[in-house]
Structure 1
């Protein structure tokens, strides 16, 4: 499995300006989806709904959301909720359990790890990882630096 294609808005934010990506290639804007945030599903868990309210304003401000992203964003928020719930359980019950075989990892350890992997995967789709944040920060200016002879 190769690299995941980034949305045109992310490539443009990281890019050089004038519709070009960081390598100077023209960015195809893709289909003309309406760029408004989706409404949250009513079935989200409390923690997932809180995460939705936390991330949607910033993603919407960057023009990264459309109504069609509702499912993917819901999956991201629910993965966050599962990660938080497993972490809270481990905090109370500890990382191990007593069993006939001796000490074993608490089942919530596996849940936490799986939710963390899923969370990172979904976060990358929305530009919510630290590396993407840095790339967006680098791409926030117009690429014209008077002191840089290569710009």
Structure 2
């Protein structure tokens, strides 16, 4: 598996000229989706709703969101909320529990670890991690081959 392709809008943010990425390669224009931020689902938890508000403003400013991103963004925000809840549980109860078998990792440790992995994957889709942001600013390879033999 190679890198996940970046959205066209992100490729063009640091392009060398109109319609070209930072390496000067022509980028096909994105589909003509209406670029309107989705409304948050009413069922989001409080923590997820706070994350929604935090990221939607920035993603809207960058013209990266469309209404059909609602489901993916909702899952990202609820994953964040699950990570926060698991982390708070660990802080409150500790990383280990006593069991018949002896000292075991608290179940919240596995929940936080799994949520963290999922969170990174979703965050990358929206360019929300330092690595994905950095890759965007360098005109990261989208895995579709490279026309520039010197890159």
TM-score band, normalised by shorter chain: 0.7 to 0.9
> Which ranges of structure 2 fall in alignment gaps of 5 or more residues?
140-151
- Separation in 1, partners of 2:104, 2:85: 20
The reply on whether 1:118 has 2:118 as its aligned counterpart is yes
- Separation in 2, partners of 1:74, 1:29: 27
Divergent runs of 4+, >4 A: 135-139
Q: Deviations over 1:24-63 (max 9, x none)?
A: 1111122100001000000001100000000100000000
The reply on whether 1:66 has 2:56 as its aligned counterpart is no
- Separation in 2, partners of 1:138, 1:11: 9
RMSD: 1.4
Deviation, 1:134, is 3.1
> Which ranges of structure 1 fall in alignment gaps of 5 or more residues?
140-151
Q: 1:53 maps to which residue?
A: 53
**How many residues are paired up?**
139
TM-score, normalising length from structure 1?
0.87
- Separation in 1, partners of 2:50, 2:22: 34
The reply on whether 1:9 has 2:4 as its aligned counterpart is no
Q: 2:144 maps to which residue?
A: none
Aligned residue for 2:41, secondary structure, equals: coil
TM-score, normalising length from structure 2?
0.87
- Separation in 2, partners of 1:13, 1:132: 13
- Separation in 2, partners of 1:16, 1:119: 31
The reply on whether 1:30 has 2:19 as its aligned counterpart is no
Deviation, 1:135, is 4.3
Aligned residue for 1:134, secondary structure, equals: helix
